[in-house]
Amino acid sequence: MKKYLLYILLCCMFTYMQGFSNTRYAAISGDTLLNTPAPRFTMLDTRGKAVSLTDYKGRILVVCFWSTWCYYCHKDFPMINKVMQRYANDTTVAFLFVDTREKSEQYRDLVQKDLARFKYNFHVVFDEKGKDGNQNMYYNEFGTIGLPTRFIIDGNMNIRQKFIGYDPRLTEEEAAAVFVRSIEAVRK
C-alpha cells in the first residue's frame, strides 16, 4: 500500500513539475494578455557600450534571455537566427540577447566563445547583479521564470508578447513562422 501511495505521489509531482519545464514552448498573445510597460534597462554589451531600452523607442525590440549553459537556448538559436535574417534589412525591428544567470565569473569570455563557436552575430548585453548577488537583475524585473524566454516589445516600449521555453515538437521552420507572425502582429 505504501509503495502504491508513493508511486501516485511521484506521478503527481512529475505531472506538476512539467509545468515548470524549459522544454515546452508557450506563446502568450500580446494583443489579448500583454500590454505592460517593459522594465527600463541599461546594460553593457560585449564591447562595453551602454544599451538602453530607450535606444529602441519607435522600433519593435525582441529581447531574448539566455545563458551559455542553457541547452534549450542553444536549441532555439538557429530559429532565432533565421528570423533575424528575415528582418536583416528592416530597421524597424531589432534583436537584443540578454546573457543572464551565468554560474561562472568568466561569463563574458564564455559568451564570446559561444558566439564564435556557433558563428552567431547576436547583439549581446549582460544582465546586472541582482539583490541576491547573482547575475539576474533584469531577468527578475522582466518576470522571467526560465530560459530561454523571448519578449516582443512594441515601439511604445510595452511588452506585447512573451515566449517561454523551447518546443522540440516544432521544426525550425514552424517555430520561425510562429515567431514572425507574432512580430508582425505587434507591428499592426
| Lookup: cell for 54 | 530607450
Residues 103 and 107: their CA atoms lie apart, in Å, by: 8
User: HSE-up of 141 (CA within 13 Å, CB side)?
Assistant: 17
In order of their start, the domains of the chain are: 22-187 (3.40.30.10)
Tens of pLDDT, residue by residue over 41-80, are: 999 999 999 999 999 999 999 999 999 999 999 999 999 9
Instruction: Calculate mean pLDDT across residues 29-44.
Output: 80
Tens of pLDDT, residue by residue over 100-152, are: 999 999 999 999 999 999 999 999 999 999 999 999 999 999 999 999 999 99
